[in-house]
Amino acid sequence: MSADPPAPRAATARRDDWEEGWYAPARRCPSPNFGPRPAGASIDLAVVHSISLPPGVYGGDAIERLFTNRLDWDAHPYFQQICGLEVSAHFLVRRDGALMQFVSCDARAWHAGRSSWRGRDNCNDYSIGIELEGLEGTPFAAVQYRRLARLLRALARRYPLAEVTGHEDVAPGRKHDPGAAFSWPLLARLSGWQGAGSALQRRA
């Protein structure tokens, strides 16, 4: 008697990875800081950011608290500089590679602010915001690149994602993250995307 044919595990797993814009491998931590995307918006750009709270301090739950409007503004002197800020990103990649998601990718997270890419303003309307726990000018952990590369591949299977760039490139002069220490060539090698500098394109 012949064996049953193998089940299409890869295709099923890919479908099951997503539920209404939420990525199953990420720890879900819903933020109230989001809104609807414009009708007909094509989610075709990923924007890479860096964040640490306080700057240069890793670990803890300050980033999570900031994105969910629960940060104690008196807990550290630096927090007074951002007091009242309402912000979010779709994803956060911690220093150890742990992945968190704050906003459904179907929705508009508040991550890029005043921004433009290739002549299109308001990048929040059509982009996915990915924060890396880190500080501008400081190298990121190898595991963060691997996690980011896997995430980009997963996003590209779900959405018409075509490019990835840095916050500093969509808001030049106003923002400087992820900074010069971020290795775009390494991300290109790990993800299989291609391009020069900080503008990578998905391979056809």
Quickly tell me which residue has 């400087």 as its tokens.
176
27 membership: H or E segment, kind and range: strand 27-28
Q: Decide if 131 is catalytic.
A: yes
On whether the CB atoms of residues 193 and 152 are closer than 8 A, the answer is: yes
Would you state the structure tokens that stand for residue 175, as one six-digit string?
């923002």
19, 20, 64, 131: the active-site residue? 131
167 membership: H or E segment, kind and range: helix 167-170
DSSP code of residue 87? -
Which value, to the nearest 10 degrees, does the dihedral of the CA atoms of residues 102, 27, 96, 143 take?
-90
Which 3 state secondary structure label does DSSP give 91?
strand
Q: Alpha carbon of 171 to those of 48, 81, 113, 120: distances in Å?
A: 12, 20, 8, 12
- Active-site residues, by number, are 131
